[in-house]
Amino acid sequence: MLLAALLLSAPATIACPAPAIGFAPPLDRPLLLERRIERELREGRFRQQIRYRLRFARAGRGFRLTVEQIALASDGPPELLRLLALQEESSAGETLEVTLDSTGTILGISESPAAPERLAAALARLRTDPGVATRDAAEQAQIGAMLDRLAALTPDERAAIHQAKIERLVMFAGRPCAQAMVSTRDGARYRLTAAAGDSWELETVPGSFPDRPDAAQGTDRAVLSTATGLVLRLERQTVVRVAGTERKALESLTVSTDAGPPQP
C-alpha cells in the first residue's frame, strides 16, 4: 500500500525528446522581454514591471544580443516609489551589449559608455532626496551604506548583476537532457514535465538552487522553445523566512515577438 501511494504521488516524467538543447535565436525580428516582480514588504506590497527590447545578431561564430530597457512601471509604498523614480531616470533607455558563443553561453557584457555617469548622477540625487532625509538615523545609515556599495561597484561587478538577469533567458541553451532532467550552468536542476512539438515545460527539483540562502524556498516553472533555445516563460515563486515571518515573492519573465518593424 505504501509503495502504491508513493508511486501515485510521484510527479510524472517523460523521456527527453532530444539529447541536448540547441541555440538558434531569431535574427530577423526583435523580441520583447517583460519582467514582472511582486514582493511582500513589512508594510504593503511592491510591484514592478520592466520591458526590454532584445535584438540578436551574428557575431563571428557566436551571437551578439542588444538589450534595451524601454519601459518601467512600479507600484508600492510612496517612499519606495520616490526612490525608484530616481532610479528609473538613470536606467531609462539603458542599452547592454551581450556576447554569446554558438551554444548560448554568455561570454561578456558591456554597458553603454554613458552608464557610469548616469549611475553616479542617480546616486547623488538619492543621497539628497527628501524621502531619505525624513527617515530615522538607522535607516539613513542603511540607505547610505547601500548607495556607497553601489557607487563602489566595478564594471565587472555591474556586469555580473546584469548577467544574473539575462542568464535566465538562455539558461537551458546548449544543455544536455538525460532521464527527463536538465541542469543549468549554475547547477540548478529542472525536471521535464511535458513536451509538445518544440515546446518543453520544466520545473525545478526541490533544493536544486545553490545560490539561494537556506531561508529562501521556492519553485520555478519554465516554458522552453527548443527551436530557439530561449526561455519563453519563467515563473519563480519564493518564500523568504525572516525573524519568524514569511514573505512571498513572485517573479515572471515572458518573451514575445516585438510588434516593431523587422530588423534590417
Q: Which residue has the cell 514582493?
A: 39
Say if CB 184 and CB 171 are below 8 A apart: yes
The residue-averaged pLDDT of 124-153 equals 75
34-52 residue pLDDT tens = 999 888 877 778 888 989 9
Is 60 exceeded by the pLDDT of residue 85?
A: no
Element (H, E) at 6: helix 2-9
Whether the per-residue pLDDT at 6 is higher than 50: the answer is no
- Grid cell locating 56: 540578436
> Given the C-alpha cell 514575445, which residue does it identify?
256
Q: What is the mean pLDDT of residues 71-89?
A: 66
User: Interior CA angle at 232 toward 68 and 236, to 5°?
Assistant: 95
Pick the residue with more confidence: 207 or 54?
54
Residue 224 pLDDT > 60: yes
CB-based contacts of 227: which residues, under 8 Å, 6+ apart?
A: 24, 198
Q: What average pLDDT does this structure show over 147-151?
A: 76
pLDDT at 208 over 80: no
Half-sphere exposure of 66 (CA within 13 A, CB side): 15
Q: Which domains does the chain have, with CATH numbers?
A: 12-255 (2.30.230)
Q: What is the mean pLDDT of residues 195-202?
A: 95
> Which band of pLDDT confidence, cut at 50, 70 and 90, is reported for residue 9?
very low
Of residues 262 and 158, more confidence is placed in 158
> Which pLDDT value is given to residue 87?
56
Q: What are the residue ranges of helices labelled H in 76-200?
A: 78-91, 115-127, 130-133, 137-151, 155-166
pLDDT reading at 8 higher than 50: no
Percent of the chain clearing pLDDT 70 (strictly above):
80
Strand-pair partners of 14: none
Using pLDDT thresholds of 50, 70 and 90, give the confidence band for residue 90: low
Cα-atom radius of gyration of the chain, to the nearest Å? 21
Separation of alpha carbons 222 and 235, rounded Å: 6
Q: How far apart are CA 220 and CA 152, in angstroms?
A: 32
The per-residue pLDDT for range 237-260, each reduced to its tens digit, is: 888 776 677 788 899 999 998 755
pLDDT tens digits, one per residue of 156-169: 777 777 788 889 99
H/E element, 56: strand 45-59
Which stretch of DSSP H or E encloses residue 182?
Answer: strand 181-183
